[in-house]
Amino acid sequence: MKIVKKIGVLASALTLALGVGAVQAADMSQIKVAVVNVQQVLQQSPRVAELSKKLEAQFKGRQTKINDEQKALQASVDKFNKESPTMNDKTRADTEKSISNTRAALVKEVVQYQQDLQKEQNKIMQGLLNDLNGIVSNIAKTNSYSLVLDAQAVIYAADGNDITKDVAKQFNNK
């Protein structure tokens, strides 16, 4: 669900930014405001759940490989710690160097994995946010709303101003 939290924060910021610009352009006496619970839309979306599962499946093999390599490295370290007092200096130095090289390679692999995962998450989030903002904008235009705010940033809103269900329906049908 990490992706959902990131998407919620970014979508809230974008929705708020869109709304502020609309208010500046509108006559203050004619402002019609709506709210949408972006986090709820994303958390309850089968579409987001499907994309999360797809992303997890895409990276599962690499994650498993990294976990196996970490276990093997730990086993090597444990064996070295147990046997090092009886090793000659050359063997001890060679083993330490081997463990150090393995650890460095593993760190490099983990960093690359995290970068690739983050890049893919950002790509997915960008697509979802573009869709969500388009839907919110269309609903706002259709219903003549001057401002749409994220419900989590609003202390009170009348039920008639909550467009979350409409947004969720269109978002999940896309």
Q: Please, what are the averages of pLDDT over each run of 10 residues along the chain (174 residues)? A: 52 48 53 93 94 96 97 96 93 96 97 97 95 96 93 85 93 88
CA dihedral in degrees (15, 18, 19, 23; nearest 10)? 170
Cα separation, 24 vs 32, whole angstroms: 13
Among the listed residues 127, 107, 109, 132, the one whose alpha carbon sits nearest the alpha carbon of residue 55: 127
Can you give the pTM of this predicted structure? Answer: 0.70
Q: What pLDDT score does 16 carry?
A: 47
Q: Nearest-CA neighbor of 149 among 170, 163, 138? A: 163
**From CA 134, how far away is CA 64, in angstroms rounded?**
38
pLDDT at 142: 95
Closest to 112 (Cα-Cα) out of 75, 65, 52:
65
What are the residue boundaries of the structural domains of the chain, listed by start? 2-173
> Which one, of 14, 1, 42, lies nearest residue 153 by Cα?
14
What is the pLDDT at residue 170? 94
**Residue 33: CB partners within 8 Å, gap ≥ 6?**
145, 146, 147, 148, 149, 157, 161
What is the reported pLDDT for 156? 86
Q: In CATH terms, is domain 2-173 a member of 3.40.390.10?
A: no
